[in-house]
Amino acid sequence: MDNHPRYRSLFWPILLVGVGIVWLLSNLGLIQTISLGSILRFWPIVLIVFGLDMLFSRRYPWVGAVVGLLAVAGVVGLLMFGPQIGITTNTETKSETFSTPLEGVKTAKYDFDTSSSPVVITALDDNKSDLISADVTYRGIMRFDVNGSDHTTVRMSEYTDNTSWLNWDFSFDNLRWDIGLSPEVPSEIILNGGSGAITMDLSGLQLTSLQTDLGSGASTITLPQSQDAYTVEVESGSGSVTLNVPDKASLTLTLDTASGATNVIIPAKAAVRIEVNDDGSGSLNLPNGLTKASDSSSFDIGAWQTPNYDTSDYKILIQVLGQGSGSLSIR
């Protein structure tokens, strides 16, 4: 029989309780805003107190509790009084407006590389004198580059500070990108999405092409009416995607979907042709009233179109290049 008392240190339970207290105080605004990355900056303290616990707690079990309490009290004190002496642990939240004038621009190309913040893209009012006006609340480093005069390229992207490589946000700050684009010039849009939700209402824009590589956030895209044909390429990830196609628009829409559900909403009585090269493992739902196209055998799965497709002035061509495990519905 083992007569030695079983070693039970209170160090780890107290440490977990302390982490919860720190996050609670942060959310209540009693200490500076923190993230998981800022807490991980205290890892040397964890090593020190863990070593002290191993050295003394087997002989004096109460030492583990004292060490844990002192560590938690020290971290909370640093977070509460650190800003007063110039010590901060969080990445500062900033709000800025980025813009460039419309004057002299004939065509525009926008290249957005988003992050975890929600993104809203709409058309500016006709009386606005800006090519782009973006109100952004963010952390890290924001890049806003404008190149060219008559044919202008605008690039926006957000980078995380290298000193906070694991800066996951657990606060309630209203991080957001609100972007307005001018409807006065033909525009090409490239968007690489992150984990944040994306809402794009492109009604009123002179869209020539849209290329998206979407991430895990839910996305809603409303396409514009146009007398000129334009192209839309959507490559989606695990987030759901909703595409609203207007009437009186001629466009080619290519889809390459993954695990997220994709819904394409087309107007009633629209002239539509759907070409499917890969239906994947997810369900595929097509609208009623389609007939098998005569050249259907040239596609891996098939091609279908409405009876009015060949004679209509406005045609919608949907090409399914790849489908993963997510459902795809065209209705």
Confidence of residue 52 (pLDDT cuts 50, 70, 90): confident
Helices assigned H by DSSP within the chain: 11-27, 36-40, 43-56, 61-81
For the chain, the first-to-last Cα distance in angstroms comes to 73
Within a domain: 3: no
Other CB atoms within 10 A of residue 12 CB: 12
* Structure token digits, residue 178: 């609100």
- Of 45, 68, 85, the position where a domain reaches its end is 85
- Do 37 and 101 share a domain, yes or no? no
Number of domains observed in the structure of the chain:
2
Within a domain: 295: yes
- Do 209 and 302 share a domain, yes or no? yes
Q: Which residue has the higher pLDDT, 42 or 139?
A: 139
- Of 68, 85, 102, the position where a domain reaches its end is 85
CA 294 – CA 276 distance, rounded (Å): 14
Q: Which domain holds residue 81?
A: 11-85
Classify each residue of 97-128 as buried b or exposed e, where b means 16 or more C-beta atoms within 10 Å of its C-beta: ebbbebeebeebbbbbbbbbbbbbbbbbeeeb
CA 82 – CA 179 distance, rounded (Å): 36
- Do 166 and 74 share a domain, yes or no? no
* Residue 82, pLDDT score: 61
- Do 221 and 317 share a domain, yes or no? yes
Cβ(323)–Cβ(284) below 8 Å: yes
- Do 139 and 165 share a domain, yes or no? yes
- Classify residue 68 by burial, with Cβ atoms within 10 Å: 0-12, 13-18, 19+: buried
**Percent of residues, the chain, with pLDDT higher than 70:** 78
* Mean of pLDDT values over 200-224: 97
Tell me: pLDDT of 7 over 60. Answer: no
Within a domain: 1: no
CA 46 – CA 228 distance, rounded (Å): 63
Measured at the CA of 20, the angle between CA 15 and CA 35, to 5 degrees, comes to 105
Residues 6+ apart with CB under 8 A from 318: 253, 254, 255, 264, 272, 273, 274, 275, 330
CA 22 – CA 45 distance, rounded (Å): 15
According to DSSP, residue 202 is labeled -
Within a domain: 15: yes
- Classify residue 155 by burial, with Cβ atoms within 10 Å: 0-12, 13-18, 19+: middle
- Do 109 and 54 share a domain, yes or no? no
* Mean of pLDDT values over 308-331: 95
- Of 47, 66, 85, the position where a domain reaches its end is 85
- Do 68 and 135 share a domain, yes or no? no
Within a domain: 52: yes
- Do 70 and 168 share a domain, yes or no? no
Within a domain: 267: yes
- Do 133 and 248 share a domain, yes or no? yes
- Do 174 and 68 share a domain, yes or no? no
List pLDDT tens digits, range 252-292.
999 999 999 999 999 998 999 999 998 889 999 999 999 99
Side by side, the strands of the sheet bearing 271-276 are: 141-147, 151-159, 107-113, 186-192, 206-213, 226-235, 249-256, 315-322, 271-276, 302-305, 291-292
Polymer length of the chain:
331
List pLDDT tens digits, range 160-191.
654 444 444 444 457 899 999 999 999 999 99
- Do 142 and 40 share a domain, yes or no? no
- Do 318 and 231 share a domain, yes or no? yes
Residue in 77, 45, 64 with CA at minimum distance from that of residue 7: 64
